[in-house]
């Protein structure tokens, strides 16, 4: 894969989470952003490596934070549907599939 994009709500989740962690501890928001970027890089290199959780949607877990990146492969690119806190209601992102 050579490109990816965020669903608008997933991008909002990312920014919200970065700000949240930065408020918790200076520099932690940056660490979270780096971890998200590393996870996206792994997804781009090995898009089929993570389990399909339903109907073509895959989830790759971050290593340091309790988050998963939910994504869909479409037309040789990656659509990131959610930057999901794993403690949140699991199916909230399904409405983004339309």
Domain presence at residue 23: yes
pLDDT of residue 89: 84
Domain presence at residue 38: yes
pLDDT of residue 64: 94
Strand bridging mode 4-6 / 77-85:
parallel
Q: Please report the sign of the dihedral spanned by the C-alpha atoms of residue 41, residue 45, residue 49, residue 55.
A: positive
In which domain, by residue range, is 50 found? Answer: 4-87
Q: Please count the structural domains in the chain.
A: 1
Domain presence at residue 97: no
Q: In 3-state terms, what secondary structure has residue 9?
A: helix
Specify the pTM.
0.90
Read off the CATH number of the domain in which 75 is found.
3.30.2310.20
Q: Summarize pLDDT for 32-83 with one digit per residue, the tens.
A: 999 999 999 999 999 999 999 998 999 999 999 999 999 999 888 999 999 9
Domain presence at residue 59: yes
Q: In 3-state terms, what secondary structure has residue 80?
A: strand
Residue 55 or 90, more confident: 55
């Amino acid at each position: 894969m050579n490109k990816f994009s965020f669903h608008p709500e997933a991008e909002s989740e990312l920014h919200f989470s970065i700000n949240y962690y930065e408020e918790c501890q200076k520099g932690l928001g940056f660490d979270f952003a780096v971890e998200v970027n590393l996870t996206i890089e792994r997804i781009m290199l090995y898009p089929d490596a993570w389990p399909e959780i339903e109907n073509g949607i895959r989830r790759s877990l971050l290593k340091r934070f309790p988050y998963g990146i939910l994504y869909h492969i479409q037309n040789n690119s990656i659509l990131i549907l959610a930057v999901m806190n794993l403690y949140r209601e699991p199916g909230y992102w399904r409405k983004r599939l339309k």
